[in-house]
Amino acid sequence: MSLYTSTRKKLENLTATQAILQGLSDEGGLFVPTEIPAVDFSLEEMLGWNYKELAYRVIKLFFEDIAAQDLRHCIENAYDEKFDDKEITPLVTTESANFLELFHGPTIAFKDMALSILPYFMLTSKKYNKESKDIVILTATSGDTGKAALEGFADVEGTKIIVFFPEDGVSEVQKRQMVTQEGKNTLVVGVKGNFDDCQTGVKEIFADRAFEQEIAGKNYKLSSANSINIGRLVPQVVYYFAAYTKLIRENKIKVGEPMNVVVPTGNFGNILAAYYAKHMGLPINKFICASNTNKVLFDFFDKGTYDRNRDFHLTISPSMDILISSNLERLLYHISGEDTHLVANMMEQLKKEGKYTVTKEMKDQLSDFYGGYADDETTKAYIKKIYEEEGYLMDTHTAVAYAVYDKYMQETNDTVPSVIISTASPYKFTSSVMTALDDKYQAIDDFTLLDEMHTLIKGAMPKAMDQIAHKEIKHKTVCEINEMKHIVSSFLV
């Protein structure tokens, strides 16, 4: 059976459902499989499966303690008509690139791929472990996780969800999606700080044992919907297998040939899922890691030193405005030979000094990664270029990925077919995308621009955007960083 341990302390016999339910290890480490499972099917077999079947065959290898019928129930309820494309993750091919669109779920961002299924994993885990307390999902978001988590957990019996977001660090559409969220078990809070402040505050709440006892007395148990939760990370592995099957079906590659993946990333969960897919047996050649001006990951892959001691930039790709990439800790665990003591020391260095450096042996294991970055002006230029030349409208995060992909191709002339992970619909970042196309849109608000954008994109307006400008604002709480714990406590009565 697949078992789980912590990145910072060796644990024994922790099941998948226990890891999902707990979210974060007691000492602050992240849960990782004691061994990344190898696929028990052939690459040819995958070609006959739809997304749901592929999800079942991949996820069951990680979550072996979930019975087959329960896992299928989770999958059936997650990937249903709430997605506006029957393929779930369509591959769109333009003249110059292959885009895997992960934004066809209810909140038009890739977080739906995992957060549509996490509530079902959570309830299943609660049942398996005879947990009587209500589960409190506590989440920090840089824009997309929050709404996707809220959508997934709203009015789910036996749960509450609290989302913290940087008050001035998300797009107007992202903010409106969150603050209009319905559900009597939901709370959305703007924080006077950046995403790293939100994420650090949430981690500190998780690590506070006295607070844990306090809310346990109220019959609550904390868990997370961020990608620090293994139940959130594993479903993301699936769509890399889906991308591979689509390349084969479109005669871009033959079975067994490699592909590259180009991933815009901030918290490192999305690209880590690709790393897991490769180690399961999927032929991935290069992980092309795309950053924006907050290029802490680019510098890490370049120098082997992770250093968050730098200016924080608010960019037009806000979901990547991150200087502490939490999921990188899982990669450190794997490339260090599962040295929990070393990882714990690095994380302590990061906390105290703001940086750490990997060993030469660890750096040598990063050769499959290529780091690149694009600033806002470059991002805008590529949005305009690809729309005008190829008729494809990218959101800002996908455009960062495309810019890094283009640079990689110019530097390497690599002939391996690449898949660019398109993480959000352009509708989610209307102002930035439309202004990239033409300066005349600068003076127009985000919500008016939805209609302008609709004239450029064929097909129906996504349900998530329909009437969003007129929805009632239900969440108006704003707090200082040091007030986050009090907000949580006050909500849990």
> Which tokens sit at 50?
């739809």
The answer to whether the beta carbons of residues 105 and 192 sit under 8 Å apart is no
CA dist list (Å): 181 to 96, 336, 464: 38, 42, 11
Handedness of CA 372, 276, 320, 98 (dihedral sign): positive
Please give the Cα distance from 293 to 74 (Å, whole number). 38
Q: What is the DSSP string of 216-238?
A: HTTTEEEE--STTSHHHHHHHHH
Query: What contacts 392, CB < 8 A, 6 or more positions away?
Result: 92, 94, 99, 386
CA dist list (Å): 470 to 180, 440, 463, 465: 10, 24, 14, 10
111: annotated active-site residue? yes
Chain-centre distance for alpha carbon 410: 28
Nearest partner of 54 among 33, 34, 78, 21, judged by Cα: 78
Please give the Cα distance from 478 to 326 (Å, whole number). 24
Query: What contacts 312, CB < 8 A, 6 or more positions away?
Result: 194, 196, 294, 321, 323
Q: How far apart are the first and last CA of the chain?
A: 38
Catalytic residue among 9, 86, 111, 160: 111
CA dist list (Å): 328 to 3, 145, 313: 20, 18, 20
> Which tokens sit at 49?
């499966």
The answer to whether the beta carbons of residues 226 and 140 sit under 8 Å apart is yes
Neighbours of 98 (CB within 10 A): 21
The catalytic site residues sit at 111
